[in-house]
Amino acid sequence: MGGEDGGENSSPGQEQALGSMLKRHPEALAALFGTSGTWFLYDIAFYGTNVFTPTILKDICLLGTITEEGDCRQTFLQTAMEGGIVIVLGVPGLLTSVALVGRWGCRSLNCIGFMCLSVNFAAMAVVAQVVPDNKFLLFVLYCCLNFCLNFGPSLGTYVLPAICFPEEIRSTCHGISAFGGKLGALVGALAFPLVEDSLYGLPLVLLCQGMLCALGAVVAIAFQRPDSDYLVEPHSASCSGESAGVTGTQMSSADTFDCTLASHES
């Protein structure tokens, strides 16, 4: 009984805390849109590409031969070798993000990463449409694409929600942001076959992905702030709590968030 009562009391309290905090801080609502929006768009690109790697490699047909009907004849081993190269090149992309996140911050990683993805998708779409017989160039671009998919937003979309919200609503907002990512993964996985089966096939898929990644860069620029804006230490006496005889550890995260915004505005 006690456990049920506790569960019933906690949910309304959490909802009230989230609602009141977002009303007090429109910036937090904008940050939530920025984190969930970029995570949504990134996962469309990631899962709408990586899940269908065998299909894309078959369209490229690097090691195989094209039949008279225009189909790719390629063995499973050849596809596996191509896929292994593509996957391995994703590792340095993630390691590069880890090395740069402390220097650039999550917002810059997201912006630059989305821009790189947009350019890469667009370049691959043009090559696939104009010179589809250039298998080597298509494969190189796809390897670069997998590097970019693991660089930037791969890390930034996950880390930023953990630092840009007040403590009372941080886990809830992180969950909402993650839900945006899962929804994007669903959209990417379902939309790829539909678009790929259209008249323009793979080039149209790549073009749509490039446009979505460009939108991701816009969302990051418009609704996200540099990490320093969220992590800056309060400097004034009122923010540090000295004027009220309160230590920094006794301040609520909402007050800390207020002071962070005040420091940024000043």
In a domain, 78, yes or no: yes
How far, CA to CA in Å, does 168 sit from each of 18, 199, 265? 8, 50, 23
Query: Do residues 251 and 158 both lie within one domain?
Result: no
Query: Do residues 84 and 102 both lie within one domain?
Result: yes
Amino acid 8: pLDDT: 42
Query: Do residues 46 and 154 both lie within one domain?
Result: yes
In a domain, 5, yes or no: no
Amino acid 126: pLDDT: 96
From the list 121, 124, 135, 104, the residue with the least C-alpha distance to 210 is 121
Q: Which residues contact 241 (CB under 8 A, 6 or more apart)?
A: 247, 248, 250, 251, 255
Amino acid 201: pLDDT: 87
In a domain, 4, yes or no: no
Query: Do residues 137 and 261 both lie within one domain?
Result: no
In a domain, 176, yes or no: yes
Domains contained in the chain, number:
2
In a domain, 83, yes or no: yes
Q: In a structure prediction context, what are the per-residue pLDDT tens digits for the chain, which is 266 residues long?
A: 444 444 444 455 555 666 777 777 777 888 999 999 999 999 999 999 988 998 899 889 888 888 877 788 888 899 899 999 999 999 999 999 999 998 999 999 999 999 999 999 999 999 999 998 899 999 999 999 999 999 999 999 999 999 888 888 888 899 999 999 999 999 999 999 898 888 788 899 999 999 999 999 999 999 999 888 876 544 333 343 443 344 433 334 344 444 444 444 44
Domain hosting 251: range is: 232-266
Query: Do residues 214 and 246 both lie within one domain?
Result: no
As a whole number of angstroms, the distance between CA 193 and CA 213 comes to 19
Phi, psi of 65 (to 5 degrees): -125, 145
Query: Do residues 184 and 62 both lie within one domain?
Result: yes
In a domain, 94, yes or no: yes
- Which residues partner with 72 through β-bridges? 66
From the list 191, 222, 207, 205, the residue with the least C-alpha distance to 38 is 222
CATH number of residue 66's parent domain: 1.20.1250.20
190, exposed or middle or buried, with CB in 10 Å at 0-12, 13-18, 19+? Answer: exposed
Strands 72-73 and 65-66: antiparallel
* The residue type at 3: G
Amino acid 14: pLDDT: 57
